[in-house]
Amino acid sequence: MAKIVGGLTSSHIPSVGNAYARKLFQDPYWKPFFDAYPKIHTWLGEKKPDVAVILYNDHGLNFFLDKMPTFAIGAAFEYNNQDEGWGIPVVGTFKGHPELSWHIINSIQAENFDLTTCQEMAVDHGFAVPAQLFWGNPDENQMRFIPICINTVQHPIPTPARCYAFGQALGRALASYKGDEKIVVVGTGGLSHQLDGERAGFINKKFDLYCMDKIVHEPEELAKMTTHDLVLEAGAQGAEFILWLAMRGALEGQGTVTKVMENYHIPISNTGAGSMVLELT
Amino acid sequence: MSTEAIEVEIPGTVMFDGNQAMKGYALNKMCYSFNGAAAREAFRADEEAYMTSFGLNEQQKQAIRHRNVLELIAAGGNIYYLAKFAGIFGLSVQDVGAQQTGMTVDEFKAMLVKQGE
Ligand SMILES: [Fe+2]
């Protein structure tokens, strides 16, 4: 049977894509952010997952307001990263795992979550930046990827509770797959930030640290928040934290969760940037 | 026509809900097109014709002419699509943040750093 080795989180700030391409790992501005990732690479080197399910939000590359799915999953052989309009480097094509995608779709649908299935899906920085931070550019690794996109663009977005429950259904789907894959589940985005309005530049360190603490052993506390709570405390785009909660849901009930490492730094771009490794045993 | 507002307002924040999505559809659709290099070129070549081809209303056109993010949001713009418009002019999210908060870019960046202390 397939095995979930754990969960990862990472902010997916677009300017990280530029900094990565320019190898600014030791630059004083970027170092407190990039320093987290070698520790994560060490953990990945030990656990050796071969499939990553990445929970992310599209920021207007693949989906537009003409059709805006709440939960969309890739079921393709490959996924292209493409031009997003403001000049971060295009990193190429990620390999998919359509057989596992369809297993997830069948399993989750049977639990009454209705998914939009995508046999073509361009993946933006929300997916590509974390994938690059963890595994390098797509031509530098043998990983297979499954993108799951959750709407954070247009309200009403799914509630924290719904995303946490969705994650739990995802965890059951992965654990019941009859392959010998080792799977890591990735929650991306966040933490607190707001790009729009007079409140632009809002960051909430206290709230971010609270979330990073609670998500390890008391995620159900975080799942009690409303969307309004989340926008108020984390900022309009900090609502992306629902992606971290979905990741955490996938670990729940699948074993013992242990925090291996965490990192938090303000600011990267306009954001409180966080990353974590949660191991499942 | 209007849909139910979600909840109490958060100062300085416009929830991009059904009302905003309806109001801003043409504007956001134009900005979404800027994912493509050819669309960015077409806009640069003739802004007025490009805006008209997407059916922007006068409020939206004015906000585009002014390069004013708060006006664009008031006209129904969604920040994720507006970012692609800002990208045409090489503006970062700090530039956009500074403009909306009435700060210089340096003041805005200092405000970001301060929140980490
Ligand atoms: Fe994002």
- pLDDT tens digits for A198-247? 999 999 999 999 999 999 999 999 999 999 999 999 999 999 999 999 99
pLDDT band at A131; cut points 50, 70, 90? very high
Distance from CA of A199 to the nearest CA of B (A): 5
The total domain count for chain A is 1
For ligand 1, the distance from its centroid to the CA atom of residue A124, given in whole angstroms, is 10
**CATH number of the domain enclosing A30:** 3.40.830.10
Token pair 């899906």: residue: A121
Indicate yes or no: CB of B69 within 8 angstroms of CB of A196: yes
pTM of the model: 0.97
Which CATH code fits B18-90? 1.10.700.10
Examine the residue annotation and report whether A217 is marked as an active-site residue of this protein. no
For ligand 1, the distance from its centroid to the CA atom of residue A11, given in whole angstroms, is 8
pLDDT band at B7; cut points 50, 70, 90? low
Has residue B104 got a pLDDT over 60? yes
Q: Which of B11, B37, B94 comes nearest A199 by C-beta?
A: B11
Angstrom distance (rounded) from CA A213 to CA B16:
29
Question: Which chain B residue lies closest to A61 (C-alpha atoms)?
Answer: B35
* A193, A217, A228, A265: the active-site residue: A193
For ligand 1, the distance from its centroid to the CA atom of residue A180, given in whole angstroms, is 32
* A41, A125, A155, A265: the active-site residue: A125
B36-to-A12, A13, A18, A61, B88 alpha-carbon distances in Å: 22, 21, 19, 10, 11
pLDDT band at B8; cut points 50, 70, 90? confident
Indicate yes or no: CB of B36 within 8 angstroms of CB of A83: yes
Examine the residue annotation and report whether A193 is marked as an active-site residue of this protein. yes
Q: Which domain holds residue A127?
A: 3-280
Has residue B4 got a pLDDT over 70? no
For ligand 1, the distance from its centroid to the CA atom of residue A152, given in whole angstroms, is 9
At residue A127, what are phi and psi to the nearest 5 degrees? -95, -50
Domain ranges for chain B, please list them.
18-90
Distance from CA of B28 to the nearest CA of A (A): 8
Question: Which chain A residue lies closest to B13 (C-alpha atoms)?
Answer: A197
For ligand 1, the distance from its centroid to the CA atom of residue A240, given in whole angstroms, is 7
Q: Which of B17, B18, B101 comes nearest A198 by C-beta?
A: B101
- Report pLDDT for A86: 85
Is A131 in contact with A85 (CB distance < 8 Å)? no
Instruction: Indicate the range of A52-61, A84-93, A226-235 predicted with least confidence.
Output: A84-93
Neighbours of ion ligand 1 (CB under 5 A): A 189
Beta strands, E only, chain A: 3-10, 51-56, 71-74, 78-80, 93-95, 116-118, 144-150, 182-188, 257-268, 271-280
Distance from CA of A179 to the nearest CA of B (A): 38
Has residue A147 got a pLDDT over 80? yes
pLDDT band at B11; cut points 50, 70, 90? very high
Indicate yes or no: CB of B87 within 8 angstroms of CB of A85: yes
- Report pLDDT for B85: 97
Distance from CA of A210 to the nearest CA of B (A): 15
A70 closest CA partner among A190, A156, A173, A146: A156
Secondary structure letter of residue A267 according to DSSP: E
Indicate yes or no: CB of B15 within 8 angstroms of CB of A198: no
Give first-to-last CA distance, chain B, whole Å.
46
Indicate yes or no: CB of A201 within 8 angstroms of CB of B83: no
Alpha-carbon Rg for chain A in angstroms: 17
CA A84 and chain centroid, separation? 18
